[in-house]
Structure 1
Amino acid sequence: MKNTLGSILIIAGTAIGGGMLALPLASAGPGFSASITLLAVIWLGLLASAFVLLEVVLAFPKGTNFGTIARLTLGLPGQIAMWISMLMLLYALDAAYISGGSSLIVAALSQAFDLPISAHLSACLFLLILGSIVWYSTRAVDRVNSILFSLKGVAFILLLSLFAPHVNLTQLLDSGNSHYLLYAIPIFFTSFGFHPVIPTIASYNDLDPKRCRRIILIGGSLPIIIYLVWEISTLGIIPRTGDNSFHAILNQQGSVGEMMIAFHHILNNKLITLTANAFSDIAVTTSFLGVSLALFDFIADATKRPNTIKGRSQTALMAFLPPLAFALFYPNGFILALSNAAIVFAITLAVPVLSAWRLRTTGKTGTYKVAGGYILFTSLLIYYLVICIIQICSDCGMLAQFGH
C-alpha cells in the first residue's frame, strides 16, 4: 500500500500537463455541454484502454515492457510498430517538456540571482536535474512527483478561488455549435495520455492486480474531474463571442497567453496570470517525470540493460540525449510529431490491445482479465481508427475550426 498514493499521482501528473490550460480553447466552439460530454466519452474509452493494457502487462514477468510484449505476442512487425510509435510519442513529448522547462530555469535564475543564462544551457540543467531523479529510481520519481503535484494542487486551487466569484453559470448554457466538435476530439484524446507509464506502475506495485486496478481507476479519473472544474471556471467567465472572447482569442494567436490576457482584462487581476504560469510550469515538470519514467523503462526493457549504475546510465543516455538534441538543434522535428500526437498515441494503444487479443486466443492470459473481452477489443480498435481519421481530416483542413 505504501506505493499506492505515489503511483496514483504519477499517473495523474503524467496526464495533467501544461496543455490542460488550453482545453477551453478547444471547447469554446462546441460549447460547455457538448465539450464535457465529449471529454467524458473520450475519457471512458481511454480508461478502458488502460485496463486492457494492464491485463497485458500482468500476463508477463515483472519489468516486462510493451516492446517485449509486442514481440512475444505479435512477432517482429508488432515490435517494430510498438517501437516506432512509443519512441516517436515519448521522445517528442520529452523534447517539448525540455523546451518548456528550460524557460522555467531561465526565469528562476534571472529572478533569484539576476543571472543571464542561454536557452541551451537551461535545457541541459532542466534535463540534468529531473533526469537524474528518473535515473535514480522509480521511488525517487514517486517522492518528487508527490511534492510537485501537491504544489500544483495549491496553484490550481488558488486559480479557482480567483475565478469562482466571477463564474457566470448561465454563460455555460450557451449551446455553441456542434460543427466544431470533430476538431476538438484529437486535442481531448491526447489530454489523458498516461498509458505508457502503466508497465512501470505495475512493476512498482509488484504486479498486484487489485492494487493496480485501483491505482489506474483513481489516477485515471483525477484528470476528468480537474478538467471539468477547469472548463466550468474558464467557459463561465470568458464569453464565446464579442470583446475579450474565445472567438477573439482564437482569431489571433489562439494561445494560452492570449487567454490569460483576456482574464486579466475581464477580472483586472494580475495574480491570475502569475498563478496560471506557476501551475503550467509545475505541470511541465510532473508530466516530464511521468513521460521520462515510461521512456526510461521502455528502453531499459527493449535493450535489456541491467538495473545497475552502469546499466541505468546507459539507459539514461539513450532515453535523454535524443530528445535533448531535438529540443536544441531541430525543434521542428518534435513539433511535427506533436502535431500528429493523436495518431501516434492511438497506434501506441492499439498494439497492446492486439496483444491482449492474441493472449486471449492462445489462452495465455495472466492474473487479470478485463471485462468485455473481444467486443471491448474490437470497439477500442475502431475507436483508435476513428481518432486517426479525424486527425488526418484536421491536418488537411477539412474540419470547421472556431475563430478561423
Structure 2
Amino acid sequence: MNQKLVGSALIVAGTALGAGMLAIPMVLAQFGLLWGTLLMLFIWSGTTYAALLLLEASCKVGGGASMNAIARQTLGKSGQFVTNALLYALLICLLMAYIIGAGDLVQQVVRNIGFEPSSMMSQIGFTLVAGAVVSSGTHVVDKLNRVLFLGMILALLFTLIALVPGINMASLLDYASNDKVALIKTSSVLFTSFGFLVVIPSLVTYNKDATKEQLRNMIILGSAIPLVSYLLWLFAAVGNLSSSELVQFASVSDLIAALGKQYAGLEFVLSVFTGLALLTSFLGVAMALFDQNADIFKCNRLGIFGITFVLPLIGAIVAPEHFLAILGYAGIILVFLAIFVPMAMTLKVRKLEFDLTQVYQAGGGSIAMGTIFLFGCFLLFAQVI
C-alpha cells in the first residue's frame, strides 16, 4: 500500500477515533471486559462490511467525491433527496459538536499564554483555520492528518505504557451488571465510534488510480486501527479502575482526572489525545461535507467554504446548550445513512453488468446482504429501547 493509500486509511481511522473514545470504558465497564469486547467486535464487523458496500457502489458508478454523486446515479431523485437530508443532518450536527469542543480547547490553551478570548472568538478562530485546511483539498487534509494521527497514537501509547503495569487482573474479571438489555443499549455509542463511512466517497476519488484490492485494504486497515485502539484503551482503563468507579463518573473529564491522580502527567497526555482525536474527526467530517457541497452547488472554494462552515458555526455559537439533545438523535440518522443507504445503492448497481476482475464487489452475496439488514435493525432496536 503506497503512502497515499496509507494516508487515506489514517483519515478513515482519524474520523472514527473521536474524543468519544475516552467514554467507552465508562459505557462498557459495568458489563465486564468479555461482553464489552464481544459487542465491540460485532459492531465493528457490521460497520466495516457496510463501508465495503459503499465502496462497491462508489467504484461501480465510476467514483464520486460525495454521497450526493453516488445517490444521484443509483437511487434516483427521491433517493438522492433522502440521502442528502440524512447526510446534512448528521454532518452539521457533528461539526457543531466539534466546533464547540475545539472552541473550549482553544480557549484553555490561549488562557495559558495570558489571553482571555471569548468562547465565540475561540470557535470562530478554530473554524477559520481548520476550515481553510479542509478547503485546500484532500491532499492537504491527508498530509496534516498523518502528523496529527502520529501525535494521537504516541499519546495513546504513552497512556498504555503508564497504565498497563498497574493493571489488576481482578478488575478485568469484575462486572457490576448482567443486564443484557442495558448492554445492547450501548451499541449506539459504539456504532457512532466507528462512524467513518462519510469520508469513503472522497477517498475513492482521491485514490482513483488504486486497484480494487488496495481500496478494500484501505477501508479494512482504517477501521481496524480504531478497533485495536478502543480495545487496548478499554483493557487498560478497566484494569486500573473498578467497574463500580467507572460507572459513577459523570463525564470524560472525571475519568481523565481519576487516572491523572494515579499517574503523574497522564491527565495532560489524555487531554492532548482528546484534542487531537477531536481535530482529526473534524477534518474527516468537514472534508465529507465540503465535497458534498462542492458537488451540489458548483461554485468557487470561498463560496463552498461559507456554505460548509457558516451554519455549523452559527449553531455552535447560538445554541450549544441545546445541541447535546440533538446529538442524541445522530445515532439513528447514522444507522440509515451508514447501513440502509449503502445497501440500497449496492442492490441497485448489482443489477447492472460489470467486469468484476476490474471493479470491486463486496463478498458474501445475498446472505451477507440479509445479515447486514438485520444488523441495521438491531442498531435501530438498540437506539429506541
Q: TM-score, normalised by structure 2?
A: 0.94
| Structure 2 Cα separation of the partners of residues 386 and 115 of structure 1 | 49
In structure 2, the residue matched to 1:399 is none
In structure 2, the residue matched to 1:331 is 320
The equivalent position to 2:276 in structure 1, one of 278, 282, 285, is 282
| Structure 2 Cα separation of the partners of residues 4 and 247 of structure 1 | 39
Task: Report SS of the residue matched to 1:115.
Answer: coil
The runs of at least 4 aligned residues of structure 1 exceeding 6 Å deviation read none
Q: Report 1:151-230 matches (<5 A).
A: 151-179=151-179, 180-206=182-208, 208=210, 209-230=212-233
The equivalent position to 1:388 in structure 2, one of 372, 380, 385, is 380
| Structure 1 Cα separation of the partners of residues 147 and 11 of structure 2 | 11
Q: Does the 8 Å contact 2:174/2:242 carry over to 1?
A: no
In structure 2, the residue matched to 1:295 is 289
| Structure 2 Cα separation of the partners of residues 370 and 276 of structure 1 | 37
In structure 2, stretches of 5+ residues that fail to align are none
Overall identity of the aligned pairs, in % = 31
Shift of 1:64: 4.3
Q: Report 1:341-360 matches (<5 A).
A: 341-349=330-338, 350-360=340-350
| Structure 1 Cα separation of the partners of residues 62 and 326 of structure 2 | 32
| Structure 1 Cα separation of the partners of residues 25 and 237 of structure 2 | 7
Shift of the 14–106 alpha-carbon distance from structure 1 to 2, 3 Å rule, reads: same
Q: Does the 8 Å contact 2:50/2:342 carry over to 1?
A: no
| Deviation string, structure 1 residues 317-367 (Cα, Å, up to 9, x no partner) | 111111101101122454233112221111112112101001112446871
Q: Report 1:78-93 matches (<5 A).
A: 78-93=79-94
Does residue 132 of structure 2 align to residue 132 of structure 1? Answer: yes
Structure 2 counterpart of 1:329, which letter? V
Shift of 1:176: 4.4
Does residue 230 of structure 2 align to residue 236 of structure 1? Answer: no
Does residue 255 of structure 2 align to residue 263 of structure 1? Answer: no
Structure 2 counterpart of 1:378, which letter? G
Task: Report SS of the residue matched to 1:3.
Answer: helix
In structure 1, stretches of 5+ residues that fail to align are 306-310, 394-404
In structure 1, the residue matched to 2:56 is 55
Shift of 1:383: 1.4
In structure 1, the residue matched to 2:9 is 8
Shift of 1:375: 2.2
| Structure 2 Cα separation of the partners of residues 212 and 299 of structure 1 | 24
Q: Does the 8 Å contact 1:32/1:176 carry over to 2?
A: no
Q: Does the 8 Å contact 1:205/1:211 carry over to 2?
A: no
Shift of 1:182: 1.4
Shift of 1:5: 1.7
Structure 2 counterpart of 1:54, which letter? L
Task: Report SS of the residue matched to 1:9.
Answer: helix
| Structure 1 Cα separation of the partners of residues 109 and 307 of structure 2 | 28
Structure 2 counterpart of 1:341, which letter? A
Structure 2 counterpart of 1:299, which letter? N
In structure 2, the residue matched to 1:398 is none
The equivalent position to 1:361 in structure 2, one of 326, 351, 354, is 351
CA root-mean-square deviation: 1.7
Q: Does the 8 Å contact 1:65/1:199 carry over to 2?
A: yes
